[in-house]
């Protein structure tokens, strides 16, 4: 019998002593320095020689940098987070070359996130204390990824549901249920604006007052994030608990955010975070998440007969098909996603719109899916 291994991450906040703060700051600075040096080396190699430099080459460069007088300070911190910085840069370039991200950018001292990643060889965890390599004092906090034997699959129930994401309603299910969009950012928008104005009025040299204003703004943002994450956790846990299969649409949130009129609302809905939670919880609890291709016309496809209607503007929420069936736009989309799910799962591919009008706008996958609809 194969043992299931579920990895879970746990994060904790801690307040370092002065000694720890100095050591951590030194590590963060070295990580940023190595990342920027490697990025510069890879960029120059391509511009001057059309040569692609990979992780192994930058790792050899790091060894050479440590031997120079100018960069000897890199030896004062653990090599593990420095190597991890090079791996992160390699991932950034991989995402760039596969058109999933823009070209990697240099890390700024003031604006970039201060972080360092340690693998198992770079720390020791004993009796609730964490000791990082080349640090004098242990840390009484952890942020660890570990196996959790307590996570077990839910009993199989055979239920399946289609879920259509939206803005008017956060989620519409094929059962007809509509989940209210709480619009967490909108609820605190006035407080955010007021706190932002107060921060902007503080001069850069006004240390204590500016710090207070910055913390006030950060607390409002943190409250919004916490409420949003709590709501998404409850929603995704319920969906995974109640259904064996959940069918969703593959939304390109990054492209949707380019819409100047809807970007703020889309970001507040957090569709990407919803999908991420849904997928990892499905893995934990033995459920299946099926993702239908983004070009599948779920809203314009009649869930009764299978005809595809013409133009359907976003402000049209209820429409009538030529067959006489009247559809709620979102419920209809969720039903079509549910119908398409089995075909996607069986064929291992997305469902795309059919361009042959002789088949009423339905591809073979869609026809198969709709035939299976209960």
pLDDT tens across 47-74, in order? 999 999 999 999 999 999 999 999 999 9
The answer to whether the beta carbons of residues 290 and 297 sit under 8 Å apart is no
pLDDT tens, per residue, the chain with 374 residues: 455 667 777 777 777 888 888 999 999 999 999 999 999 999 999 999 999 999 999 999 999 999 999 999 999 999 999 999 999 999 999 999 998 889 999 999 888 888 999 988 888 877 777 788 888 777 765 666 667 777 788 999 989 999 999 999 999 999 999 999 999 999 999 999 999 999 998 877 667 888 899 999 999 999 999 999 999 999 999 999 999 999 999 988 888 888 888 899 999 999 999 999 999 999 999 999 999 988 888 888 898 888 888 888 888 888 888 888 899 999 999 999 999 988 776 665 544 433 333 333 333 333 433 343 33
pLDDT the model gives residue 3 = 57
Q: How far apart are CA 317 and CA 296, in angstroms?
A: 18
The predicted structure's pLDDT at residue 11: 75
**What is the pTM (predicted TM-score) of this model?**
0.68
Catalytic hit among 249, 279, 315, 373: 249
330 tagged catalytic: yes
CA–CA gap between residue 185 and residue 68 (Å, rounded): 50
Is residue 270 within 8 Å of residue 232, measured between CB atoms?
Answer: yes
Are the C-beta atoms of residues 6 and 140 closer than 8 Å to each other?
A: no
Q: What is the 3-state secondary structure (H, E, C) of the chain?
A: CCCCCCEEEECCCCCCCHHHHHHHHHHHHHHHHHHHHHHHHHHHHHHHHCCCCCHHHHHHHHHHHHCCCCCHHHHHCCHHHHHHHHHHHHHHHHHHHCCCCCCCCCCCCCCCCCCCCCCHHHEEEECCEEEECCCCCCECCCCEEEECCCCCCCCCCCCEEEEEECCCEEEEECCCCEEECCCHHHHCHHHHHHHHHHHHCCCCCCHHHHHHHHHHHHHHHHHHHHHHHHHHHHHHHHHHHHCCEEEEECCCHHHHCCCCCCHHHHHHHCHHHHHHHHHHHHHHCCCEEEEECCCCCCCCECCCCCCECCCCCCCCCEEECCCCCEEEHHHHHHHHHHHHHHHHHHHCCCCCCCCCHHHCCCCHHHHHHHHHCC
Q: Which residues, listed in sequence order, are joined to residue 123 by a DSSP beta bridge?
A: 132
Spatial contact of 39 and 104, defined as CB atoms under 8 Å apart: yes
User: What is the distance between the alpha carbons of residues 186 and 343, in angstroms, rounded to a whole number?
Assistant: 39
The Cα 163–Cα 306 span in angstroms is 19
Per-residue pLDDT tens digits for 95-118: 999 988 899 999 998 888 889 999
Rounded distance between C-alpha atoms, residue 272 and residue 251, angstroms: 8
The reported pLDDT for the residue numbered 351 is: 43
Distance CA 105, CA 40 (A): 10
Domain definitions of the chain by residue range:
7-147, 160-372
Q: What is the pLDDT of residue 308?
A: 86
Q: What is the pLDDT of residue 12?
A: 73
51 burial (CB, 10 Å; 0-12 / 13-18 / 19+) is: exposed
pLDDT of residue 347: 62
Q: Report the chain's mean pLDDT, rounded to a whole number.
A: 85
Share of the chain above pLDDT 70, in %: 88
Task: Answer for the pair 236, 287: CB distance below 8 angstroms, yes or no.
Answer: no
The two beta strands, 245-249 and 129-132, are unpaired
First vs last C-alpha separation in the chain: 35
Q: Is 249 considered catalytic here?
A: yes
Q: Which of 23, 164, 185, 268 is catalytic?
A: 164
pLDDT at 367: 41
- Give the integer Cα–Cα distance in Å for 351 and 188: 39
Catalytic residue among 23, 185, 268, 330: 330
């Amino acid at each position: 019998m194969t043992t299931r291994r579920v990895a879970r991450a746990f994060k904790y906040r801690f307040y370092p002593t002065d000694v720890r703060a100095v050591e951590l700051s030194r590590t963060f600075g070295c990580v940023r320095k190595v990342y920027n040096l490697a990025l510069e080396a890879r960029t120059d190699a391509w511009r001057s020689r059309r040569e692609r430099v990979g992780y192994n080459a930058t790792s050899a460069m790091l060894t050479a940098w440590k031997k120079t007088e100018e960069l000897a300070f890199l030896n004062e911190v653990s090599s593990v987070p420095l190597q991890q910085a090079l791996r992160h840069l390699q991932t950034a370039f991989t995402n760039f070359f596969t058109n999933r991200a823009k070209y990697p950018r240099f890390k700024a001292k003031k604006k970039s996130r201060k972080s360092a990643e340690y693998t198992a060889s770079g720390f020791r965890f004993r009796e609730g204390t964490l000791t990082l390599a080349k640090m004098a004092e242990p840390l009484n906090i952890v942020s660890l990824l570990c196996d959790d034997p307590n996570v077990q699959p839910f009993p199989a129930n055979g239920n399946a549901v289609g879920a259509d994401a939206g803005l008017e309603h956060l989620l519409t299910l094929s059962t007809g249920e509509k989940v209210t969009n709480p619009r967490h950012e909108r609820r605190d928008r006035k407080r955010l604006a007021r706190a932002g104005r107060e921060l902007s009025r503080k001069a850069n040299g006004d240390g204590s007052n500016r710090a207070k204003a910055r913390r006030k703004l950060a607390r409002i943002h943190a409250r919004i994030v916490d409420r949003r994450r709590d709501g998404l956790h409850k929603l995704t846990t319920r969906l995974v608990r109640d259904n064996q299969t959940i069918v969703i649409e593959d939304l390109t949130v990054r492209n949707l955010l380019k819409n100047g009129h809807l970007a703020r609302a889309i970001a507040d809905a957090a569709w990407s975070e919803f999908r991420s939670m849904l997928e990892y919880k499905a893995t934990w609890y033995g459920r299946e998440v099926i993702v239908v291709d983004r070009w599948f016309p779920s809203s314009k496809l009649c869930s009764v007969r299978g005809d595809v209607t013409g133009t359907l503007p976003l402000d049209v929420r209820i429409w009538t098909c030529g067959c006489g069936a009247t559809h709620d736009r979102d419920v209809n989309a969720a039903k079509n996603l549910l119908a398409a799910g089995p075909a996607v799962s069986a064929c291992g591919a997305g469902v795309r719109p059919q361009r042959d009008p002789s088949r009423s706008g339905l591809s073979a996958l869609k026809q198969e899916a709709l035939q299976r609809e209960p």
